[in-house]
Amino acid sequence: MGYKIAVVGATGNVGREMLNILAERQFPVDEIVALASRKSQGTEVSFGDTTLKTKDLDTFDFTGWDIALFAVGSTATKEYAPKAAASGCVVIDNSSLYRYDPDIPLIVPEVNPQAVHEYKNKNIIANPNCSTAQMVVALKPLHDRAKIKRVVVSTYQSVSGSGKDAIDELWNQTKGMYVPGQEVDPKVYTKQIAFNVIPHIDVFLDSGDTKEEWKMIAETKKIVDPSIKVTATCVRVPVFVGHSESINIETEDFLDEDEARDILRESPGLMVIDKREDGGYVTPIECVGDFATFVSRIRQDVTVENGLNLWCVSDNLRKGAALNAVQIAELLGREVLKKG
């Protein structure tokens, strides 16, 4: 006997990817339903070799369903997730709505799987921000060995993190650069994204940080260790899919770059490709469609007593969103629900 799974927001980029990954990983599904807003009702989406027609989220009854994977914005989540949870269906939410609620676990299965048992507080589990998810997978095994004191991270985040309209904007702006009369003004972003980088993701806070930067700080503390100091600069770059991060780590105990490389090679969810030669590292275009988080450019930072630098790349629609949500569902099944 398998699980009854609902995918909420099934017509969006992340919702579609959730369906793909559930099929790819052969999640034990007994029954699956694709849910979307009323205006998208009847839209066809793929689940493996099966075609599903979306049903209306507004009228759907979650009673008797085991797990609901939510891939909609915070507004819709706020309305529908409590209804699903109250009906006995465990919600795994990809929005930012519940990430900072102390009663709701924020989980990356390779990092803090034990937190899954806290789902009982509200029948809801939160999925972290895409940029945080890949970073903490790399941080946790190093933290276990040498205790991380401080992290300085700069991100290079793809436009798919902003949704389909952002992908279209990059595509059309790029074409417009070469075709007179077809120039495209910024709409999704505050400035041109084609052939440019924008040091601005989400809204600005009074501190001068953007909310994306604040998310990385708060989520790392909640998932890994509240004592870690984190400072972040988040940048949008003209890449369609795949987030990259330059991460500088300061540890309490000395950690040699060779030992760090060996630790990361043996850690779940990570793939180390680190050759000190032309092309001996991973770039975003190479990680698209892959489950792993890739680490390259591992080296000592000699400007501090115990410092390391590394380069981290992942498919943000997968590990940063859909894959992590499905991995949480797998973890929930193994540790708690135990069906299938």
Q: If residue 50 lies in a helix (H) or strand (E), which one and from where to where?
A: strand 50-53
Q: If residue 311 lies in a helix (H) or strand (E), which one and from where to where?
A: strand 307-314
Question: What are the φ/ψ torsions at residue 129 (nearest 5 degrees)?
Answer: -60, 145
161: left (phi over 0), alpha (psi -120 to 50) or beta: alpha
Residue that has been written with the tokens 């599904």 in this structure:
29
Question: What are the φ/ψ torsions at residue 227 (nearest 5 degrees)?
Answer: -85, -10
Sign (positive or negative) of CA dihedral 190, 248, 146, 263: positive
Residue 313 token pair: 């790349």
Is-catalytic flag, 287? Answer: no
42: left (phi over 0), alpha (psi -120 to 50) or beta: left
SS3 label, residue 121: helix
> Cα separation of 142 and 189, whole Å?
36
Candidates 89, 143, 234, 243; catalytic one: 243
Q: Round the CA-based radius of gyration of the chain to a whole number and report it.
A: 20
Q: Are the C-beta atoms of 203 and 188 separated by less than 8 Å?
A: no
Question: What are the φ/ψ torsions at residue 324 (nearest 5 degrees)?
Answer: -60, -40
SS3 label, residue 99: coil
Candidates 130, 234, 287, 312; catalytic one: 130
Residue 31 token pair: 């029954």
> Cα separation of 173 and 234, whole Å?
22
Is-catalytic flag, 130? Answer: yes
SS3 label, residue 328: helix
- The catalytic residues are 130, 243
